[in-house]
Amino acid sequence: MTTDTCPPNAEPAFSFTQGLVVGQLSVVLILAAFIKFFIFGDPPSPDVTASIRATERRSRTLAHKRSLLSLRTAAQATTRNGQPQGPLKRRKSTVLRGPPTLTIGSILSKTYYNVESHQPESLDWFNVLIAQTIAQFRSDAQHDDAILSSLTKALNGTSRPSYLDEIRVTELTLGEDFPIFSNCRVIPVDEDGLDLGSGKALDPSMASREGARLQARMDVDLSDVLTLALETKLLLNYPQKLTAVLPVALAVSVVRFSGTLSISFIPSNPSQSTPTMMAFNFLDDYRLDFSVRSLLGSRSRLQDVPKIAQLIESRLHRWFDERCVEPRFQEIALPSLWPRKKNTRCPEDNLGDAIGSSSSGSGAGSVGKMRGKDMADTAETSTLTVVTAHFG
């Protein structure tokens, strides 16, 4: 008679305590590697980062141009097949004898500007005017808190995340230097902003096409320190509100910008009631360098975390690319330049107001205002006379 014997139980290779220790060590090693290489790892050099971003922007621009060319090819094929070309254009009035239609070719010839041989201009006079404007802006900002109030209101608007406490501006530096514009040249472009010449002689048929316009391109270089420093608190609302609060201090500085600025005027369209627009953008070859300083915590503080600097720089570059880097552009509506009586000013107006504000010079102020009104009426009469003579 045989008896059944149970096989002995296999002893585990590790006990529960040993497995727990190994698991904890694994978690600690993973966290240490994450903190060392991901958070505190050395970022790539600014030149390498700028080169990578420039390559990405250039590939995006080339892809946009290829898509435009393919759409034009399809549109031309549709036109050749006898498809309708759109609604009929309204016939212009023949009562007023307007000037002949000016194309970019005629404008260039009448201004003696040859796009192939004309040398780029230095724009020294323009730099002086821009410097005066920026200097006045900085002077006004020192005596007025409007900029600081606007920034604080914008940062604490409805778009502020719920996990952030109130954002406070601690430093605002507008710099001391001025941008330098140089190497200005004028090139003809089509309605989509693509070059018509592309290194070749300007084709008159291309210059007379609808939507073609002239574009001024100039190099811009700014080496300065424009700083915006903020303080806030990171609200850790898990598992319940105000479980923990992490103070955060950031200071972002623009230290260098260089690129190519493009400016062109888009004529008004009376049929659509659109005014004359000034369009501007930057080419994809720009360089924008930041300096980001960070401080996390209240007691045990982490200073200048590289990963935070990379995230902020990436977000700022994307914000700039999405707004004013080709193929995107900004448009500004221009006011009418036709002389109007309400826009007429003369030195006697200011003198009369200054004298009229004092009790002893009220009569002289009235005389100054009447003299300014007479000069404005004279200017309006002269303008109407010229218009009447021009239109017959």
Do the beta carbons of residue 325 and residue 345 sit within 8 Å?
Answer: no
Say how far apart CA 246 and CA 232 lie, in whole Å. Answer: 9
Q: What is the pLDDT of residues 61-108, one digit of tens each?
A: 888 878 877 877 777 677 666 555 555 555 555 555 555 566 777 888
Do the beta carbons of residue 381 and residue 344 sit within 8 Å?
Answer: no
Residue 201 pLDDT greater than 60, yes or no: no
Residue 359 pLDDT greater than 80, yes or no: no
Domain residue extents for the chain: 46-73+121-333, 341-381
For residue 114, what are its two tokens? 């040859």
| Least confident window among 123-137, 199-213, 327-341 | 199-213
Chain Cα centroid distance, residue 364? 49
pLDDT recorded at residue 80: 62
Q: What is the pLDDT of residues 37-46, one digit of tens each?
A: 666 666 777 7
Residue 37: DSSP 8-state: I
Q: Name residues whose C-beta falls within 8 Å of residue 108's C-beta, 6 or more positions apart in sequence.
A: 114, 115, 186, 188, 202, 207, 214
Confidence of residue 175 (pLDDT cuts 50, 70, 90): very high
For residue 144, what are its two tokens? 């007025």
Torsion angle of C-alpha atoms 34, 36, 38, 41, degrees rounded to 10:
-170
Give me the helices (H) in 35-123, please.
Answer: 46-80, 104-110
Residue 165 pLDDT greater than 60, yes or no: yes
Q: What is the pLDDT of residues 277-308, one digit of tens each?
A: 899 999 998 999 999 999 988 777 888 888 88
- Omega prior to 327 cis, within 30 of 0: yes
What per-residue string of b and e applies to 20-34 under the rule 16 or more CB within 10 Å gives b?
eeeeeeeeeeeeeee
What is the average pLDDT across 374-386?
Answer: 46
Q: Which residue has the tokens 């994307």?
A: 318
Say how far apart CA 198 and CA 188 lie, in whole Å. Answer: 9
pLDDT recorded at residue 95: 53
Task: State how far the alpha carbon of 208 is from the alpha carbons of 76, 203, 214, in Å.
Answer: 17, 9, 12
What per-residue string of b and e applies to 194-232 under the rule 16 or more CB within 10 Å gives b?
eebeeeeebeeeebeeeebbbbbbbbbebebebbbbbbb
Residue 130 pLDDT greater than 90, yes or no: yes
In sequence order, the β-bridge partners of residue 222 are 257
Do the beta carbons of residue 338 and residue 379 sit within 8 Å?
Answer: no
Residue 279: DSSP 8-state: E
| Least confident window among 188-197, 230-239, 367-376 | 367-376
Task: State how far the alpha carbon of 155 is from the alpha carbons of 150, 160, 230, in Å.
Answer: 9, 7, 10
Residue 9 pLDDT greater than 70, yes or no: no
Helix (H) or strand (E) holding 253: strand 244-266
For residue 3, what are its two tokens? 């008896």
Do the beta carbons of residue 292 and residue 308 sit within 8 Å?
Answer: yes
What is the average pLDDT across 185-211?
Answer: 68
For residue 21, what are its two tokens? 């220790």
Do the beta carbons of residue 287 and residue 256 sit within 8 Å?
Answer: yes
